Amino acid sequence: MSKIIPEAIENLSPYVPGRLLEDVQAELGLPDIIKLASNENSLGASPRALEAMADALKNIHRYGDADARALKKALSEKYGYDPASIVTGNGSSEFILVLAHALTGPGLSAVMSKPSFTLYSKNVQAAGGLVREAPLTADYGHDLEALLKLVDDSTRLVFLDNPLNPTGAYLEPEALLSFYEKLPETALLVVDEAYIEFARKPKVDWPALKSPERVVVMRTFSKVFGLAGLRVAYALMDPGLAAAINKVRQPFNMNTLAQVGAAAALTDDDFIERTLKMTWESLDYLTAEFKALGLNPYPTEANFMMVGLDGRSADDVFQAVLHKGVITRSLTSFGLSKHLRVNAGQPNESEALVRAVKAVL
Ligand SMILES: Cc1ncc(COP(=O)(O)O)c(C=O)c1O
C-alpha cells in the first residue's frame, strides 16, 4: 500500500491506551481487578447524566442538534462563556485532530513538550506537519523557554496540557499568560485543561479575560464528570476560529446522548463535589504512603500522580502490581522508564494499590 498511504502515516506508531479491565481479568483469571491506569473517575458517572440519557433514548431514531445548542447554553450559564466561542466535540481528541489537520501540514510546525499527551504529536504527524518537541524541566514541568525557542514563523500550534499528562505538573496563570504574550501572531496556543477541575492551585479565569484571541482552551467531560466512554468535550476559542472549525468538523460529531448527558452532568454539583473530595483524599493518602515506602510521588494538580520508583524498572513494577490485581500505567512509553502513573481511586482502591506496591517492592 506504499503508493497509497503517505509516509508520515506509515511511520506513525499507534496510540497506546490503558489496558481494558475485561482483558486483564481474562488474562490473569482474577475476578476483582482495580483499574487506576487511565485517569478515569473511580466514582463512576454523574447520576444526573445517566438519568438524562436513559430518558433521551426514546428519541434516538432522530438526528440530534448539529450545533449542540442546549449544551452550549448550559456551559454558558454555568461558566459565563459566550456561546459563539464554544465548539463541542467527540472528546478533546477530536479537537486535537481537527486543529492539526486544519492548521498544520507540510512546511508548518507544531510545538509541544516531550513527554506530554501523545495525541498532539500523532495528529500533527498524520497531517503531514512538523512536530517540534522540548524536553521537560528537571522537575518534570513544561520548559517554557525551551518551547519558545522552537517557535518560529512556521509554527501554527503550541500545545500545553495543563496539568501536564503524565507528570501532573502545573503552570499557574501568570506563567501561562506571560508565555502566551511572547508567542508570535501566527501561532495559536492550545491549552488542554482536561484535568483543570482537579487543580487546587489558582486557575486562569478565561471568561474574565474575554478569551485571548489566539488561545484555544480544551475541556473534557471524560474526567471530573465521569463520562469517558461517552466521548464529549468542548473548546473555547475566538468566535472567528470557532466558525472555521465548525466548517471542518463532522456535522453530527456529538451524538444526542453525549449532548444530553453532558448538559445534565454540568448541573450535578453533588457528584462533582464527591469526585473532588475522593480525588484529593486519595492523592494525599497515596503521596504519604508512597513516601513512607521510599518512593518519590511528584506534586500533582490532576486526578493522577507520577511516582518515581527509586531506580526500579517501571515495566517490572507495573507487571508485578498487575498480578496483584491493580492496573497502573508504566511510563516507559513516555520515556520515563523508572516511573509509574496512577490515578486517584476510592479508599478501597487506593489501599489495594498501596498493599500491592508494598508487596512487590
Ligand atoms: C491531557 C489530556 N488531554 C486530553 C485527553 C483526552 O480527553 P478526551 O477523553 O476528551 O478525548 C486526555 C485523556 O486522557 C488527556 O490526558
% the chain with pLDDT above 70 = 100
DSSP label at residue 307: E
Joined together, the cell numbers standing for residue 205 give: 479565569
Residue 19 has pLDDT above 80, yes or no: no
pLDDT of residue 137: 98
Q: In the predicted model, what is the mean pLDDT of residues 22-28?
A: 87
Residue 93 in contact with ligand 1 by CB distance below 6 A: yes
How many angstroms is it from 93 CA to the middle of ligand 1?
A: 6
Residue 233 alpha carbon, nearest atom of ligand 1: 10
Q: Which helix (H) or strand (E) holds 304?
A: strand 304-308
Concatenated DSSP letters for 48-89?
HHHHHHHHHGGGTTS---TT-HHHHHHHHHHH---GGGEEEE
Ligand 1 contact, 197 CB (< 6 A):
no
Question: Is 161's C-beta closer than 6 angstroms to any atom of ligand 1?
Answer: yes
| Ligand 1 atom closest to residue 220's alpha carbon, by position in its atom list | 10
Ligand 1 in reach of 222 Cβ (< 6 A): yes
Ligand 1 center to residue 275 CA distance, Å? Answer: 18
Smallest CA separation from ligand 1 atom 7, residue: 92
Instruction: Indicate the pTM of the whole model.
Output: 0.96
If we measure between CA atoms, which residue out of 174, 220, 229, 231 comes closest to residue 198?
A: 220
Angle (nearest 5°) at CA 205 between 141 and 188: 60
The pLDDT of residue 348 is above 90: yes
| Cβ of 115 less than 6 Å from ligand 1 | no
Q: How far is CA 183 from CA 155, 170, 213, 214, 352, in A?
A: 10, 20, 12, 9, 46
Q: What integer is the mean pLDDT of 248-261?
A: 94
Each residue's pLDDT tens digit, 106-132: 999 999 999 999 999 999 999 999 999
The verdict on the CB of residue 221 being under 6 Å from ligand 1 is no
Q: What are phi and psi of 114, to 5 degrees?
A: -130, 115
Choose among 312, 317, 347, 346: nearest CA to 329: 317
- What does the H/E/C string look like for 189-247? EEEECCCHHHCCCCCCCCCCCCCCCCEEEEEECCCCCCCCCCCCEEEECCHHHHHHHHH
- Ligand 1 pocket test, candidate residues 142, 222, 329, 333, most atoms within 8 A of CB: 222
pLDDT digits (tens, 9 = 90+) for 179-228: 999 999 999 999 999 999 999 999 999 877 776 799 999 999 999 999 99
Cβ–ligand 1 distance for 165 under 6 Å, the answer yes
Q: Among the atoms of ligand 1, which is closest to the Cα of residue 221?
A: 10
Supply the residue whose CA is at minimum distance from atom 3 of ligand 1.
194
Cβ atoms of 21 and 33 closer than 8 Å: yes
pLDDT score of 79: 92
Centre of ligand 1 to C-alpha 351, Å, is: 26
Q: 10 Å Cβ neighbour count for 316?
A: 12
Mean pLDDT of 260-274: 98
Q: What is the mean pLDDT of residues 306-317?
A: 98
Q: Does residue 338 sit in helix, strand or coil?
A: coil
Which of 231, 223, 169, 192 has its CA nearest to residue 343?
223
Q: Is the pLDDT of residue 328 over 80?
A: yes
| Residue 137 DSSP SS3 | coil
Q: Report which of 114, 113, 111, 116 is spatially closest to residue 132, judged by C-alpha positions.
A: 111
Cα angle 302-306-312, degrees, rounded to a multiple of 5: 170
Question: Is residue 2 pLDDT above 90, yes or no?
Answer: no
